[in-house]
Amino acid sequence: MDKDGEVLYNVKLWCDTSTASECNEIEASYGSGESILSEAGNRILPGYTASKILWLKKNYNDIYIRMQHILLPHDYINFYLTGKYTMEYGDASGTGLLNITKRKWDKDVLHALDSDRDLSVCLPALIEAHETAGQITKFISSRLGIPAGIIVSSGGGDNMMGAIGTGATDVGVITMSLGTSGTIYGYSDQPVIDAKGNLAAFCSSNGGYLPLLCTMNCTVATEQIRSLFEYEVKEFDKIASKAPAGSEGIITLPFFNGERTPNLPNGKGCIVGMDMTNTKKENIFRSSLESAIFGMRLGLESFKDLGFKVKEIRLIGGGANSAVWRQIASDILNLPVVVPVQDEAAALGGAIQALWALDHKGGKVSDINYLIKEHVSLNNDKGCFPFPKNVKIYNDVYKNYNKYVEALRGIFS
């Protein structure tokens, strides 16, 4: 945005992997990917804001020179409503510009992005999740009919709000979201930096930390296959349920958007393992469902490696509506799967966080976990447990899945 708060250009979406080269440039300027991971908490990946800024500088420098403010979309909405430039720590950690352990904008990363300009002056004030972004202005009141002075809470990213809306704000609770992208995350009261780089070291939107694995392909994979064969969702699920666990050896690598974890920005979708006996619609359909969960299993294993004690998975997102997908998730992850009553968990999380901010504004310093216990409930009818026979099958299939990924890594790069 320019000095007057006007949007300058339609910048690239987070899931646009064409900025992989800009990521490499920033890391090389910093020193290395390993050094930026150990010192700032996250490597610079295409899904973060940092590379999008450098892309703008390289391709539209005349616009870049006029840039005076950098906001994420929901922060822009807060700015529109309040006239104030703010960002809370959860979303800030997803820009690639925040030092996770120091909870400050990282000047060394900013210098690596642009050594000639102090970009820190373009970044908004950081606020805690229980603080307000501001109040509804008179202009917005006259335009939208919202009473002037109403507080606007900090808000946060979809995963951070989903964590609140599912109760993943206390140690031991893991949430998995099956949306366009796939995510799995859990709460920690200390920074969690995964030396392998599988889990992003994010802050939560309730004052703690939210280590998170994100894949760029979840319902993307199933939608691609479903559209190819021209089936509706219910019919697709019905056909997929006819195939056995493991899809008789057919494995899908669902990298239709490239991939973030594993870091394969130039990855492609592949269907492998087909032969004269197993090439059937039901196997291909089920394999696309299984593939998204294999990506999530990498995150679950990373959590366990870091000492997390996982008792169950709380499942949200569009994929949570599929009974066959819920059971596949339970079997591949070898954990019980439960589903919240409120399927729009991120929206519920936003409402709970706003109530938390309202309490603080009124002088009532409440624990957000009390509010979560009051408002978040689970739908026991949609829960499921792993089938031991399928767990054993999927352990072998997952090994084969990883072999295919490694075999094709050189081609994708």
DSSP 353-389: HHHHHHHHHTT----HHHHHHHH--EEEEEEE---HH
- To the question of pTM greater than 0.75 for the whole model, the response is yes
- Stated length of the chain: 413
In angstroms, the CA 393 to CA 183 distance is 24
* 412, 267 contact by CB (below 8 A): yes
For position 15, what pLDDT does the model report?
Answer: 87
For position 363, what pLDDT does the model report?
Answer: 87
Domains of the chain: 17-153 (3.30.420.40), 158-345+360-413 (3.30.420.40)
Question: Could you say which residues of the chain have pLDDT below 70?
Answer: none
> In one letter, which amino acid is 258?
G
Q: Is 2 a known active-site residue?
A: no
* 168, 174 contact by CB (below 8 A): yes
In angstroms, the CA 162 to CA 320 distance is 13
In angstroms, the CA 88 to CA 126 distance is 5
pLDDT in tens, 337-360: 999 999 899 999 999 999 999 999
For position 288, what pLDDT does the model report?
Answer: 98
Q: Which two tokens stand for residue 136?
A: 């509804």
How much is the CA Rg of the chain, to the nearest whole Å?
A: 22
C-alpha distances in Å from residue 304, one per residue of 185, 198, 299, 307: 12, 12, 9, 5
For position 11, what pLDDT does the model report?
Answer: 84
* 382, 316 contact by CB (below 8 A): no
Count of C-beta atoms within a 10 Å radius of residue 83: 14
Annotate 165-198 with b (16+ C-beta within 10 A) or e (fewer): bbbbbeeebbbbbbbbbbbbbbbbeebbbbeebb
Which listed residue (16, 158, 194, 331) is catalytic? 158
